[in-house]
Amino acid sequence: MPRESLGASSVGLLMLTCAISAAAAMLAAMGHLAGAFGFAAAAALLLLWAARSVTGHWSALAVLFVGFFALYGLSGPLNVIAGAPLADIFAFPYRTTDYLQQQSLATLGLALGFSAFSLRSAVRAPQHTDATAGCASPANAPDALGIPFSTALLCLGLASAFEIVTFLRVGGLPALALGKAVYQSRASDLSMSLPSIELASFGFGLAAMWFAENSSRQDRIDRLRRAGLILLFALPVLGVALALGRRGPLFGWALVWIVGRSIYKPFRTIPPRLVLAAVALVTASGVLFAGRATLAFGVATGDWAPFLNTVTDAPRVIEAINPAGSEFGATFGNFSEYAMRANESPRLGDTYVAGLSTLIPQVLYPGQKPRTITYEFRDTFFPTEAARGAIASTGFSSIMEAYMNFRDAGVVLVYVVVGVVLLLTEQLRVAGPYSALFYLQLIPITQVFHRSELSLPLGVACLSLFLVLVVRGAALVLALLTAGTSLSPRGGLHA
């Protein structure tokens, strides 16, 4: 990609973000709650606009990351300032100013990371005039590389097959009727668990890229037929996720599809249909969250009365749509609980080291793996959650992990690194079709990063890279076995 200087507007936005976030951190340290929140919210919005300015479009991974960063980081404090409590499991009084100080320092770190990387390397996607121009040209698109539409269906079919196997191993419908916590805990206890969620994301990404490349050559009937095939092959894995109310995977798949469909023509403005899609997703997510305790029961038993009573209860649905009442508020709630009750010295990186052990297969790891910080935190501060299931918890917080390891300075430094990595991965989008496919698989990380320890997004990235390499290798072998193939200058294979 050609180098270009960072525009004056982007530099100005990032410097202004740094100044306002630093002011927010100081106000929070002095105990000024309203002022700290106002400055923190302004800094987050400026950072979002700066991410769009630096990358050149709204569908960038960095933009999505900052959007979720603001949503996870500020919805909880806003709820408290408005006079509404968090979930009952979090103790009152909340350490709101302490949290806003760290949130603001994280914003400062991201802005500094964006500035450091952008000043030395261009990340802006090139301007294109049609959907077939861009980083991965038609000649280098998945189908031209020997990855036909059927490969996407194969991935979705395998994901569904894996989900069916897991469904049967955990106990089938009776286990499903017990709800998300029990079902997922039983699945996590299985030996040789199957990556159905990640493989489904991979299949949706392949299908989205295929549609982006070939939509101009399809009529409406063909598009509808292929969309129907996608839903058919993905039905089991989609069905189980819906029945359990697993909003994370469902939302991640939706994002992969939306960004994948625009991979050759990113959203440089926000189209009305995207706003409508976002509103529909948020509304459906709220309904799903409100009724997920009874949805699985309805699927398993055929008794839909409890679910219908729940989702037709307007106040309950509205409360469920409020992000602070769900896992979005848990980021703040977890930090508040830690700041209030923890009495420990900085861990100096040991949670990151312990988390890295989860990336090593158990057969290759000498001895017992250390317990990850998410479950150590749960067992220390929320022991009742462990009784709900092996993986039941209030989640975690990336800001809290940085803070418990290195305190204030560590939050800034960790998020400087995150900002640099975000813009580095943005270049994957324009590096070729397989890099773009890997880029799509990183999209769900923009959501889960903020409510988890570092090892979880790293694990997703490693598995996604492995899947991309497998498909890339299969395409190479297939092309070499096909008469008349030749290596392209960019590493692709063309007949």
Assess whether pLDDT exceeds 50 at residue 125.
Answer: no
Assess whether pLDDT exceeds 50 at residue 313.
Answer: yes
- Please state which of the ranges 171-175, 347-351, 385-389 shows the lowest mean pLDDT: 385-389
Domain ranges of the chain: 134-407+428-495
The fraction of the chain above a pLDDT of 70, given in percent, is: 87
- The predicted pLDDT at position 302 comes to 81
State the average pLDDT over residues 446-453.
93
- The predicted pLDDT at position 360 comes to 77
Round the average pLDDT of the chain to a whole number and report it. Answer: 84
pLDDT in tens, 65-123: 999 999 999 999 999 998 888 888 898 899 999 999 999 999 999 999 999 887 765 55
**What count of other Cβ atoms lies within 10 Å of the Cβ of residue 361?**
7
Assess whether pLDDT exceeds 70 at residue 136.
Answer: no
Q: Say what the pTM is.
A: 0.87
**Interacting residues of 387 by C-beta distance below 8 A, sequence separation 6+:** none
- Cis bond upstream, residue 366 (ω within 30): no
- The predicted pLDDT at position 420 comes to 94
Assess whether pLDDT exceeds 50 at residue 166.
Answer: yes
- The predicted pLDDT at position 390 comes to 58
- The predicted pLDDT at position 147 comes to 65
State the average pLDDT over residues 13-19.
95
pLDDT in tens, 209-257: 988 888 767 778 888 899 999 999 999 999 999 888 888 899 899 999 9
- The predicted pLDDT at position 121 comes to 59
User: Among 137, 70, 52, 85, which residue's Cα sits nearest to residue 319?
Assistant: 85
Characterise 131 by phi-psi region: left (phi > 0), alpha (psi -120 to 50), beta (else). alpha
DSSP per-residue letters across 263-278: TTS--SS--HHHHHHH
Q: How confident is residue 488, by pLDDT bands cut at 50, 70 and 90?
A: very low
- The predicted pLDDT at position 494 comes to 34
- The predicted pLDDT at position 247 comes to 86
- Dihedral sign from CA coordinates of 430, 435, 437, 440: negative
**Which position has the higher pLDDT, 52 or 393?**
52
Assess whether pLDDT exceeds 50 at residue 491.
Answer: no
Distance CA 482, CA 495 (A): 8
Q: How confident is residue 495, by pLDDT bands cut at 50, 70 and 90?
A: very low
Residue pair 413/406 in contact by the 8 Å Cβ criterion = yes
Residue pair 120/136 in contact by the 8 Å Cβ criterion = no
**Which position has the higher pLDDT, 353 or 479?**
353
Distance CA 490, CA 227 (A): 31
- Please state which of the ranges 150-159, 178-187, 408-417 shows the lowest mean pLDDT: 178-187
Q: How confident is residue 308, by pLDDT bands cut at 50, 70 and 90?
A: confident
State the average pLDDT over residues 306-310.
83
- The predicted pLDDT at position 278 comes to 80
Q: How confident is residue 490, by pLDDT bands cut at 50, 70 and 90?
A: very low
User: Among 419, 431, 422, which residue's Cα sits nearest to residue 468?
Assistant: 431
Tokens encoding 314: 């307007």
Burial 9-18 (b: 16+ CB within 10 A, else e): ebbebbebbb
- The predicted pLDDT at position 365 comes to 66
- The predicted pLDDT at position 372 comes to 84
Q: How confident is residue 61, by pLDDT bands cut at 50, 70 and 90?
A: very high
Characterise 229 by phi-psi region: left (phi > 0), alpha (psi -120 to 50), beta (else). alpha
| DSSP symbol at 199 | H
